[in-house]
């Protein structure tokens, strides 16, 4: 009798979870980045159709549209300039914030910062620049480096620059960010990014590579910096949790891939506060490297992975294939967050499995 009760409760929980998934990620509709409606094939229901909203700040219908972030993983590069720019950015439909953004040029600075990529044994040389037009000191902390905190990681004032140089010794998906006093304030306003360190000799070739950085926004008044009081709460309650800085951008603009293509995604949780449980609906990860621990394709027993758990400042590499034409939502499986922006879509073919 007890066993039947347990099985019944488990079944009910499973049905409730699946219902929640399909309410949030059934099929695409809504608007694209420019606000034009896009209708899913076959007249199916809407994916994440409840628009992300802020409980504290009213949506501005006149806010500029967000700039869609290209999620394609970059090529190798070991000599760069890195600027920090204090600017305004649309972080969700109708919400503009003042952000602190890294960029390879001052004009291209965005949140998260540019994804960088080198291999073990490479020496990365970053000329870090704080333009005179800024008002605050800023800094740079590469988690992939082994250097003294009070050397390359020191603050630089507006109008100053420094050379941050280190040799990559460990492979992984690492975070970089500002470490200036009041670190939370700098992080929550955008000063973070991903650096990929490939093993010596590189990674095996795949068909497609993407990067996804999960982070959150604690919305302040329109056009101003985020709400630090909300960010410092004991139970984090961000208005938006995003992939690559903008709420639901890849729900409205699905990432196009091919059936059967081998897909590699570099995933980072930049936080500053919220954990991630990265999951792609409709597939199973057959290769995962999380913080140096590897699940290999073709392992004895043919084990797979359904989700990758990441705390802030942790990274992973996941690989998978998609079996048929259709839409494949990706989310954090902490389901209080997908309807607040932490949802996107991979699309194969025209997105309709019936064609």
271: part of which helix (H) or strand (E)?
strand 263-271
Cross-strand bridge partners of residue 198? 119
Question: How does pLDDT run along the chain (355 residues), one tens digit per residue?
Answer: 444 333 333 433 443 343 344 334 433 433 333 333 333 333 333 334 345 455 579 999 999 999 999 999 999 999 999 999 999 999 999 999 999 999 999 999 999 999 999 999 999 999 999 999 999 999 999 999 999 999 999 999 999 999 999 999 999 999 999 999 999 999 999 999 999 999 999 999 999 999 999 999 999 999 999 999 999 988 888 999 999 999 999 999 999 999 999 999 999 999 999 999 999 999 999 999 999 999 999 999 999 999 999 999 999 999 999 999 999 999 999 988 988 999 999 999 999 888 8
Among the listed residues 138, 50, 157, 51, the one whose alpha carbon sits nearest the alpha carbon of residue 100: 138
User: What whole-number distance in Å separates Cα of residue 58 and Cα of residue 210?
Assistant: 33
DSSP 69-138: PP-BPPPP--EEEEEEEEEEEEEETTEEEEEEEEESSSTT-BSS---EEEETTPEEEEEEEE-TT--S-B
Question: Are the C-beta atoms of 40 and 327 separated by less than 8 Å?
Answer: yes
Tokens of 331: 């989310």
165: part of which helix (H) or strand (E)?
strand 160-167
Q: How many Å is the Cα radius of gyration of the chain?
A: 21
User: What whole-number distance in Å separates Cα of residue 276 and Cα of residue 283?
Assistant: 18
pLDDT, tens digit (0-9, with 9 covering 90-100), for 237-252: 899 999 999 999 999 9
Residue 14: how many CA atoms within 13 Å on its side-chain side? Answer: 6
pLDDT, tens digit (0-9, with 9 covering 90-100), for 71-109: 999 999 999 999 999 999 999 999 999 999 999 999 999
Query: How confident is the model at residue 107, as a pLDDT?
Result: 96
Query: How confident is the model at residue 283, as a pLDDT?
Result: 98
Q: Helix (H, G, I), strand (E, B), or coil: what is residue 343?
A: strand
What domains, with CATH codes, occur in the chain?
A: 10-56+206-348 (2.60.40.420), 79-198 (2.60.40.420)
Question: Are the C-beta atoms of 220 and 319 separated by less than 8 Å?
Answer: no
Q: Helix (H, G, I), strand (E, B), or coil: what is residue 244?
A: coil
Among the listed residues 272, 289, 196, the one whose alpha carbon sits nearest the alpha carbon of residue 236: 272
Name the one residue in this structure whose structure tokens are 């628009």: 51
Query: How confident is the model at residue 55, as a pLDDT?
Result: 57
Question: Are the C-beta atoms of 280 and 250 separated by less than 8 Å?
Answer: no
Question: Are the C-beta atoms of 171 and 146 separated by less than 8 Å?
Answer: no
User: What whole-number distance in Å separates Cα of residue 93 and Cα of residue 107?
Assistant: 22
Query: How confident is the model at residue 353, as a pLDDT?
Result: 87
Question: Are the C-beta atoms of 175 and 86 separated by less than 8 Å?
Answer: no
Query: How confident is the model at residue 234, as a pLDDT?
Result: 87
| Whether this model's pTM surpasses 0.75 | yes
């Amino acid at each position: 009798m007890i066993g039947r009760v347990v099985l019944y409760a488990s079944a009910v929980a499973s049905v409730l979870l699946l219902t929640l998934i399909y309410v949030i990620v059934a099929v695409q509709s809504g608007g694209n980045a420019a606000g034009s409606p896009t209708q899913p094939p076959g007249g199916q229901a809407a994916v994440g159709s409840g628009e992300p909203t802020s409980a504290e700040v009213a949506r501005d219908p006149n806010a500029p549209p967000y700039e869609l972030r290209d999620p394609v993983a970059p090529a190798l590069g070991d000599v760069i300039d890195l600027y920090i720019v204090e600017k305004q950015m649309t972080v969700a439909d109708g919400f503009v914030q003042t952000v602190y953004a890294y960029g390879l040029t001052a004009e291209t600075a965005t949140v998260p910062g540019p994804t960088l990529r080198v291999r073990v044994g490479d020496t990365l040389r970053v000329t870090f620049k704080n333009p005179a037009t800024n008002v605050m000191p800023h800094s740079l902390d590469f988690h992939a480096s082994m250097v003294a905190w009070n050397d390359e990681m020191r603050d630089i004032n507006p109008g100053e620059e420094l050379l941050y140089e280190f040799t990559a010794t460990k492979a992984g998906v690492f975070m970089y960010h500002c470490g200036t006093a009041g670190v939370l304030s700098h992080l929550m306003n955008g000063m973070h990014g991903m650096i990929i360190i490939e093993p010596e000799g590189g990674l095996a070739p795949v068909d497609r590579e993407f990067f996804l950085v999960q982070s959150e926004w604690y919305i302040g008044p329109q056009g101003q910096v985020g709400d630090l009081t909300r960010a410092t709460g004991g139970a984090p309650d961000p208005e938006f949790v995003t992939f690559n800085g903008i709420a639901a951008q890849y729900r409205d603009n699905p990432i196009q891939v091919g059936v059967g293509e081998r897909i590699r995604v570099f995933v980072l949780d930049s936080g500053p506060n919220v954990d991630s449980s990265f999951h792609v609906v409709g597939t199973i990860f057959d290769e995962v490297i999380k913080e140096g621990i590897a699940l290999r394709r073709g392992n004895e027993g043919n084990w797979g992975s359904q989700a990758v758990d990441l705390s802030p400042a942790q990274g992973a590499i996941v690989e998978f294939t998609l079996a048929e034409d259709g839409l494949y939502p990706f989310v954090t499986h902490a389901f209080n967050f997908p309807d607040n922006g932490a949802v996107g879509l991979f699309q194969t073919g025209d997105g309709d499995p019936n064609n």
